[in-house]
Structure formats: C-alpha cells, structure tokens
Chain A
Amino acid sequence: MATTTTPHSARRAGWVASPAVLGFEREVVGALAAGADDRRRAAIDAWVDGSLSDMPEVLRAGVAAESVVLGAWWRIGRRRRDLSGFVAGLSRSRLGPLRQYARLFRSLVLFAELEP
C-alpha cells in the first residue's frame, strides 16, 4: 500500500484555477465599502476574496473578463464620475451581464458589511 501526498497549495482538483482578485475588483469593493471601518473592511475583503476564489470556474472566468473590460472602460472615463457612481450605473443597465456584475459585488459587500 503506497501513499502519495501532494501539497495542498490549490484546493482545485481541476486543471484551471480561479483567478485571484483583480485590481479593478479590489477597487470596486473599496468604493462600495467606503463607509466601513478598518476592521469591517478587512472582513469584507476576506469575504469577497474567499467568495471569488471559491466560485465555479466558469462564473469566475466571466466575472474576471468583465472586470478587465469594465476596468479599462472606467479608466478611460474616470474624470466623469467616481467608481461607486460607475457601479451604480452598471446596476441599472439593461444589459444583463453588466447588471449582474454590479449585483454580485454589491451583494458580496453588503452581506459582509451587515453580517458578523
């Protein structure tokens, strides 16, 4: 009987690991959690990090792709409004993926903000 032990560096057994939290995603969380104190902010960051990295890979890939595109879009037009206003605009979009993107981050932040 032989035992093989492998490091548990990645929880994923598949070939594709979920991408880590991206820079724009971190900025979105910061904008949505602007009123939180440092301790709560750390809890929010930990919750969002854990949730994004634990997402099904297909969903995470879609969110990451949106983050790249939206991050670029926001940077181009950033002089016009702040990031929380940008996310609020997405949440009212008629385009489902944009609206769901805003909903996802708002839900993650709000839940972590309100729950112990």
Chain B
Amino acid sequence: MTRRETEFLVVGSGAGGATTAAVLAEAGRRVTVVEEGPWVDPDAEDAPEPFSLQEMAVKYRHHGSSAALGNPPVAYAEGRCVGGSTEINSGLWHRLPAEVAAAWRSDYAIDGFDQHQIDAWADRVESRLTVSRVPGAPPLSSALLERGAAKLGWRSVELPRVVAYDGGGRATKQTMARTLLPRAIVAGAHLEAACRVVRLLRRGDRVTGAVARRRRPDGTVEDLEIDAEHVVVCGGAIQTPALLQRSGIRHRIGRGLKLHPTIKIAARFPHPVDHEDVPIQRVTEFVPELAIGGSASRPGHVGLALADSGADIADVGAALADWERVFVYYASIRSDASGLVLAVPGLRSPLVTYRLTDGDLSRLARGLVLLGELLLAAGATELYPSVTGAEVVRRPEELASWWGSVDRSRTNLMTVHLTSTVGMGEDRDRTGADSYGRVWGVRNLTVNDASLLPDAPGVNPQATIMTIALRNAEHLLSRP
C-alpha cells in the first residue's frame, strides 16, 4: 500500500471536480485530483473521433451502455476519463433558468442562492472558459430547427457553447482537459489518472482520506492510501452517491435521482443534412418543462434511432441507405419521477433505478408530437419515432396516432443528464448536504457536482454544475 498525503483530495475531474481543483489550487492550497478514467489527450493526432467506437470504448463508462432500470428503462451515458463528461458532451451552455433557481431556493431552503449571486458566479465561470456562438451561419441541422419553430411561431434560440473558434471557424471544445485542469496543474495540483477511489476513510465525524486503486500503464494495479485534510467528491450523480454509500455515508444519499427522459425522432429530409456536429439551436417555447433540440447523428446514431422505431426492416434499410438525409432530433422533459442509486456490496457498479410516472409518459407523448410537428414544418418527409411499432409519419394529420403509442412497453428512452442524488439545502429531511455541499454529519467532506442539484434543471446542466461548483469551492476556502 502506497501512502500519499494532501490537503484537499478532489475525487473526479469533470465539470465539478475541475472547477473545484482550479479554485483551490489557484488559492495556493495543496490539491490532489483523482480520476478513475484515463488521460486521453484531446489534441493528440490519434485522439479518438467524437462519438466513434474508439471514443466510446476509451472515454465512456461501460462503453456507453448503461441503463436505469424501470418500466421503461432509461439508457444513459457517462464520461469516464480525465475531464469527465465534458470530454464527450456537446458543450452546450445554458444558464440555470431564473424560475428554476427561485424554486430550488425556496423548496430546499438553499442559503446564498439569490439570482444576482448566481448570475455573478455564472459570469465568472464563463470568463474562465470560452463560451461563444457559431461565427457565421448555423449549420443546416440547426437551421432546420429554427425554420420549423419560426413556421409554428415558437421561440427558439441559438445556444452558446463552451467552444473556441479560430479564424477559419474551426471549433475546439473547451473541455476540462483543455481548460481548468491545466490551470489547476500549473497552480500546483497533482492529477492522478486511472485511479479509482474504492472508499473514503472515516474517523468519528471526519474523513481522513481515501483508499484507491491505480492502474499503471503496464496493466498492474497499485493500492494507494491518500491522507487528506478535506475530501471533495465530484464523481457525478451516479458515482458520487455510490462512493459515499460504500464509505458508510447514507443519509439522503442516492435517493432522488433526477434525469431528463429523452425521446427521439429520426427525420428524413429531401436533401442532405450536415452530420459533423450537434445542432446548437434549441426550441425554448416549452422550457423548462420540455426542451427540443438535435442529437449526434453519425451513421451509427442514425442507425440506432431508426432501429428504435421498430419500423419495417425494408423501410429502415432504405432510410439507412439514405442516412445523409436523415438527422436525429429529440424532445426531453422535466420529469416528476425520481430514481435511486444503490451501491451493492461486492459489485463495482451501483444499481440504478428510475420509475417514470404516468404524467411523464404523457409529457413524453406531447413532446414527441410537438417535435414531429416541428420537423414536418421544417421540411422533413418521414419521421421515425423511438417507439417500437409506432407509425412512420409523413403528414401532420398522422401525428395524432403517436398519442396512444407512447406507453411503458414500447417507448425507448435515453438521457445524458443525471442529477440530484445528494441534493443541497438546509432542509435535512430532503437533502444530503448543506447549502454549500458539505455532507451532513461529516465535517470535512463536500460534494460538488451534479449530485447537488436539488432537481433536474430542464436545460443542459453543465453551466449550472460549474456555477454551483465555483460558488461552493470558494465557500470551502472561506471556512475555518
């Protein structure tokens, strides 16, 4: 057993962990960041292509194949590499809607969460990253959303992204591996990749460090014990509660999982559509209850979306042969259901469940029909919904058939937004941590990631996660 010592141990290097590490290291504190996944240089010549098989094998947990059990199950994906999910997401930047922040503040009794404070932290996060809009005209996959929304009189916006554009318009996503982690390292932080924290070590009402296993480049595994004066867990909404539970910390931990259930349509157009990137346009007419946007649509994604429709194999084959004219769009809802993350002794991965309500299914059906309406207005000629056996729709009057199709036995759902398995606020009966992420009952243990969000925000959560992480990291520095 190798022993190490640090002042602050940050577990996880994604949006929350990288923000925390940069704040602490730049304040002159001794910081060690431990990341379970590997370091994958995003600028290396042989870096995996976005959404390719290689990228999914290297950067995604479980090769991207995981699901919250329920009826229906909800497939989900998490990053597992240095930089976490910021390395694999679309980098879309959407600040927390003011009405959601106000509801969280009052419902969960969150101190220091006024709108002007949130805006100030968001400004500061954005100043540390490059948050920008596409220079010039948006790609066609985005313009189609805008066109459909305009025809229907719905609001839509081009979202900024955490992306830097060079003079030629070439985009470089500002992931944590390119931005805050290098800043933290320059400021003296130590990063340990391929190192999984097995459990936290406790003494009384304090944590004293962690036991971890590091995978060496030669494939052998080294056991580490890291002594720390303070531990900040930033493993995301699935791994953070699992680690806390494995460490014997269970009060309100792992309950209340929230996600954005997402239903998709593969839309065929009479013309080719760009497939290089994720659309930046969002239909905000129904936000935060319902968001409409576009997904990654490489050939594999188009194939999966078509297959999820359960359409006749000949139809699917014809659409697949024409994949350059097919693009995948989605509708995601704010769900009133919740789920559970439960660490099971002896198993590496926690059990994850999510029970959609009848109301959620109704909202998903509405989202599907509205999305279909929009895509037909945008010029789509064929719509394949991710509902097994649902009709392939070609005309607006056929959309009504989808209302009855979205049921528990046929609907294929996914999500990439998972939150709320710890929850922050002063209401101890409803939260696992205080208003600044300090875990109830453990004086020097903080959570600072998506787990803290008391509810699903209804928008891409990265901006909210980083804003709250900056706020909490600075509060941590101010504690005695």
Contact = CB atoms under 8 A, between A and B. Distances in A.
Contacts of B69: 58-59
Given A1-B2, A56-B66, A115 B344 contact: no
Contacts of B72: 96
A56 B62 contact: yes
A99 B409 contact: yes
A95 B72 CA distance: 11
B47 interface: no
Contact of A57 (B73, B215, B303, B349): B349
Given A4-B222, A51-B65, A91-B388, A56 B53 contact: no
A110 B317 CA distance: 11
Interface in A44-84: 47, 50-51, 54-59
B389 interface: yes
Contacts of A3: 1-2, 222
B305 to A, nearest CB: 10
A111 B62 contact: no
Nearest to B316: A110
Interface string B188-199: 000000001010
Contacts of A36: none
A94 B410 CA distance: 7
A8 interface: yes
Contacts of A114: 298-300, 302-303, 320, 323
A57 B347 contact: yes
B412 interface: yes
Contact of A110 (B1, B65, B221, B307): B307
A5 B300 contact: no
B220 interface: yes
Contacts of B196: 13
B221 A5 contact: yes
A111 B304 contact: yes
A47 B223 CA distance: 30
B220 A13 contact: no
Contacts of A58: 69, 344, 347, 349, 351
A103 B222 contact: no
A38 B308 CA distance: 26
Which of A1, A6, A59, A104 has the most CB atoms of chain B within a 10 A radius of its CB? A59
A116 B54 CA distance: 9
Contacts of B221: 5-8
B412 to A, nearest CB: 7
Contacts of B346: 14-16
B52 A54 contact: no
Contacts of A94: 409
Contacts of B116: none
B348 interface: yes
B318 interface: no
Contacts of A57: 347-349
Contact of B220 (A6, A56, A112): A6
A55 B65 contact: yes
A97 B408 CA distance: 12
Given A4-B222, A14-B348, A58-B347, A115 B300 contact: yes
A21 interface: no
Interface in B285-330: 298-300, 302-304, 307-308, 310, 313, 320, 323
A115 B52 contact: yes
A115 B298 contact: yes
Interface string B246-263: 000000000000000000
Contacts of A7: 220-221
A35 B344 CA distance: 41
A47 B57 CA distance: 8
Nearest to B308: A103
Contacts of B143: none
Given A6-B221, A12-B348, 20 more contacts: A1-B2, A3-B1, A5-B220, A14-B347, A43-B53, A47-B53, A50-B57, A54-B62, A56-B66, A58-B69, A58-B349, A59-B69, A104-B65, A108-B65, A111-B300, A113-B303, A114-B299, A114-B300, A115-B52, A115-B300
Interface of A: 1-8, 12-16, 43, 47, 50-51, 54-59, 88, 91-92, 94-96, 99-100, 103-104, 106-108, 110-116
10 contacts: A8-B221, A14-B346, A55-B66, A56-B66, A56-B350, A57-B348, A58-B351, A96-B71, A110-B307, A111-B303
Interface of B: 1-3, 49, 51-53, 57, 62-67, 69, 71-73, 196, 198, 213, 215, 219-223, 298-300, 302-304, 307-308, 310, 313, 320, 323, 344, 346-352, 388-389, 408-410, 412
Nearest 7 pairs between A and B by C-beta?
A: A56-B349, A14-B348, A15-B346, A115-B300, A114-B299, A111-B300, A51-B63
